Copies of this chain bind each other. A is one copy, B any other.
Amino acid sequence: MPMRRSIEELANELKSLGIRPSHQRVKVLEYLDCNRCHPTVDMIYGSLIRQIPTLSKTTVYNTLNQFADAGMVRALTIDGNEARYDITVEDHGHFRCERCGDVFDFKIDVDSMAAEDLSGFQITDKSVYFKGLCPGCGSKQINIPK
A interface list, Cβ under 8 A from B:
69, 75, 77-80, 83, 93, 95, 98, 104, 106-110, 112-118, 120-135, 138, 146
Q: How far is the CA of A79 from the CA of B75 in the complex (A)?
A: 9
Chain B residue at minimal CB-CB distance from A104: B121
Q: How many identical chains are in the complex?
A: 2
- Cβ–Cβ contact A121 & B132, under 8 A: yes
Cross-interface CB contact of A123 among B77, B108, B127, B130, cutoff 8 Å = B130
Report B-chain residues with C-beta under 8 Å of the C-beta of A146: 69
Q: A93-B115, A113-B128, A122-B138 are in contact. List 18 more A-B contacts (CB 8 A).
A: A93-B113, A106-B115, A107-B117, A108-B113, A108-B115, A109-B113, A112-B114, A118-B130, A120-B134, A120-B135, A123-B130, A123-B132, A125-B129, A125-B131, A126-B128, A127-B127, A127-B130, A129-B129
